[in-house]
């Protein structure tokens, strides 16, 4: 069994706290490594190193910083298979899904190569008599990110790529459940030419998180995870005067209108609801067909598709639709919620509770579940299950369906499937959710737009990646300048000496 490390000042550093977290193989249920849990002293050391390294990096012009990112992209492509395999081994997701995790992070790095353009300020000539105005974007200093287990490559890159492109140093506290890929990313970035100390990885638990929140040198914090922890981090970080953006839970609805292409809608629901074992904040977990006839047709289409899903370890390659969930506790929580749905009166149309994979009996595999006749007072409707469970809530009208999504406390993503442009346009305009799909089940924006939800799915004024990221990781400084001048003989322009 391997003991993992921190990555501080360009070196792999063994933990000294004496505390470790088990890193599991979700397919077998076996402990395959241990991640050190940092002490406050270890986190402080990383901050000290970052604070010393950051001014020189900020002084590098944006074009040269962008060249380092360009090289980093090349190395990510070179090691794509290696990164995907390491990610699958610790997280459990299939190899194609793991490669997609890396790819979507890589795309944000590509966007950040445009830093010279994105960091340009504004200029006004002769705003007053002899007065010019201009603004500039400057790095914050030392920044930090606290990232979740479900996207151990993508979300760290969504945070550290723009932060570093802006001239900041970045301290990453990844999930202790699958920390190997973040460590590999830090190595690759330095291979690309990033100076030591600009990107560091500190593994840890709540102790490390609190040390980040309280450290006076850290200027900004990004977080992705559950809503209760997002609220905690946002509140404590803001109270300590930091710039904070936190993204929390989700309960994403997909409305299916009677005129929708039902085969297309069913295929979309299966991919969006069960892909990655449902461990995605943008997963569709609630289907809302409008009208009983629509609901009956949808269920008829869904059942055979769901029953054909193949569940297995990532080593099975492309023959697997999804793998295990990340921990035994996650599996137990999913099955507890499924049982609550049955106990509270929902109809369990596809029952995956007895799923068992021969040879992997100790793995954290969960069969696919489909509920019908779910109501809004049930736990399976109110709670983010984060597993392969799809709930069907029947609506009798478009307005009723719209109300379900609008009234839910979460507002991360939502979708509508219809052939009617007026309905789609009305839905997009009225819905109080941050990311909208029209005949697209998982509406994750591309890197040059921003990602973020509403309501209890997000805390903070700015979203992830896209233009918002460059606003979040910089401060705007505005200069008003006047240069007294006069005219010499012959009309030659002359600057007077200034002390």
Q: Which residues are catalytic?
A: 281
Q: In whole angstroms, what is the distance from residue 185 CA to residue 221 CA?
A: 19
Residue with tokens 């340009």, as numbered in its chain: 120
Residue 166's contacts (CB-CB under 8 Å, 6 or more residues apart) are 115, 119, 137, 139, 140, 470, 473, 474
Three-state secondary structure string covering the chain: CEECCEEECCEEECCCCCCEEEEEECCCCEEEEEEECCCHHHHHHHHHHHHHHHHHHHHCCHHHHHHHHHHHHHHHHHCHHHHHHHHHHHHCCCHHHHHHHHHHHHHHHHHHCCHHHHCCCCEEEEEECCEEEEEEEEECCEEEEECCCCCCCHHHHHHHHHHHHCCCEEEEECCCCCCHHHHHHHHHHHHCCCCCCCEEECCCCHHHHHHHHHCCCEEEEEEECCHHHHHHHHHHHHHCCCEEEEECCCCEEEEECCCCCHHHHHHHHHHHHHHHHHCCCCCEEEEEEECHHHHHHHHHHHHHHHHCCCECCHHHHHHCCECCCCCHHHHHHHHHHHHHHHHCCCEEEECCCCCCCCCCCCCCCCCCEEEECCCCCCHHHHCCCCCCEEEECCECCHHHHHHHHHHCCEECEEEEECCCHHHHHHHHHHCCCCEEEECCCCCCCCCCCCECCEECCEECCCCECCHHHHHHCEEEEEEEEECCEEECHHHCEEECCCC
Say if strands 389-392 and 284-289 run parallel, antiparallel, or are unpaired.
Answer: parallel
Q: How many CB atoms lie within 10 A of CB 302?
A: 24
Tokens at residue 218, please?
Answer: 């850290």
Is residue 327 within 8 Å of residue 24, measured between CB atoms? yes
Q: In whole angstroms, what is the distance from residue 380 CA to residue 403 CA?
A: 18
Say if strands 131-139 and 199-201 run parallel, antiparallel, or are unpaired.
Answer: unpaired
């Amino acid at each position: 069994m391997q003991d993992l490390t921190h990555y501080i000042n360009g070196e792999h550093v063994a933990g000294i706290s004496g505390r470790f977290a088990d890193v599991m193989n979700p397919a077998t249920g076996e402990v395959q490594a241990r991640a050190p849990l940092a002490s406050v002293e270890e986190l402080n050391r990383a901050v000290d190193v970052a604070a010393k390294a950051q001014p020189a990096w900020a002084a590098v012009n944006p074009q040269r910083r962008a060249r380092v990112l360009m090289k980093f992209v090349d190395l990510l492509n070179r090691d794509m298979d290696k990164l995907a395999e390491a990610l699958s081994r610790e997280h459990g997701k299939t190899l194609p899904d793991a490669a997609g995790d890396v790819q979507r992070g890589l795309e944000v790095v590509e966007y950040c190569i445009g830093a010279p353009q994105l960091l340009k300020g504004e200029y006004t000539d002769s705003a007053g008599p002899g007065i010019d105005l201009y603004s500039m974007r400057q790095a914050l200093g030392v920044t930090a990110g606290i990232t979740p287990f479900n996207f151990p490559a993508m979300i760290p890159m969504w945070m550290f790529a723009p932060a570093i492109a802006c001239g900041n140093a970045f301290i990453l506290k990844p999930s202790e459940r699958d920390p190997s890929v973040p460590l590999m990313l830090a190595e690759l970035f330095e291979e690309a030419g990033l100076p030591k100390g600009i990107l560091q990885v500190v593994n840890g638990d709540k102790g490390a998180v609190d040390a980040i929140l309280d450290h006076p040198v850290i200027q900004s914090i990004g977080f992705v995870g559950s809503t209760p922890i997002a609220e905690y981090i946002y509140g404590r970080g803001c109270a300590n005067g930091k710039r904070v953006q936190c993204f929390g839970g989700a309960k994403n609805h997909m409305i299916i209108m009677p005129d929708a292409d039902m085969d297309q809608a069913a295929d979309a629901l299966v991919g969006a609801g069960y892909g990655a074992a449902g461990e995605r904040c943008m997963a569709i977990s609630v289907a809302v067909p409008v009208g009983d006839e629509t609901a009956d047709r949808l269920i008829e289409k869904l059942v055979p598709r769901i029953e054909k899903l193949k569940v297995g370890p990532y080593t099975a390659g492309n023959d697997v639709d999804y793998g295990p969930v990340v921990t035994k506790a996650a599996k137990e929580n999913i099955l507890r919620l499924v049982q609550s749905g049955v106990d509270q009166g929902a109809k369990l149309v596809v029952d995956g509770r007895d799923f068992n994979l021969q040879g992997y009996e100790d793995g954290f595999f969960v069969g696919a579940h489909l509920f019908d006749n779910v109501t809004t007072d049930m736990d399976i409707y109110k709670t983010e299950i984060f597993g392969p469970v799809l709930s069907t809530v029947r609506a009798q009208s478009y307005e009723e369906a719209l109300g379900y999504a609008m009234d839910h406390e979460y507002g991360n993503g939502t979708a509508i499937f219809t052939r009617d442009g007026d309905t789609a346009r009305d839905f997009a305009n009225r819905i109080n959710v941050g990311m909208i799909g029209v005949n697209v089940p998982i509406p994750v924006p591309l890197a040059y737009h921003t990602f973020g939800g509403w309501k209890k799915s997000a805390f903070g004024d700015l979203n992830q990646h896209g233009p918002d990221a460059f606003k979040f990781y910089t401060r705007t400084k505005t200069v008003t300048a006047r240069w007294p001048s006069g005219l010499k003989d012959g009309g030659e322009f002359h600057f007077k000496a200034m002390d």
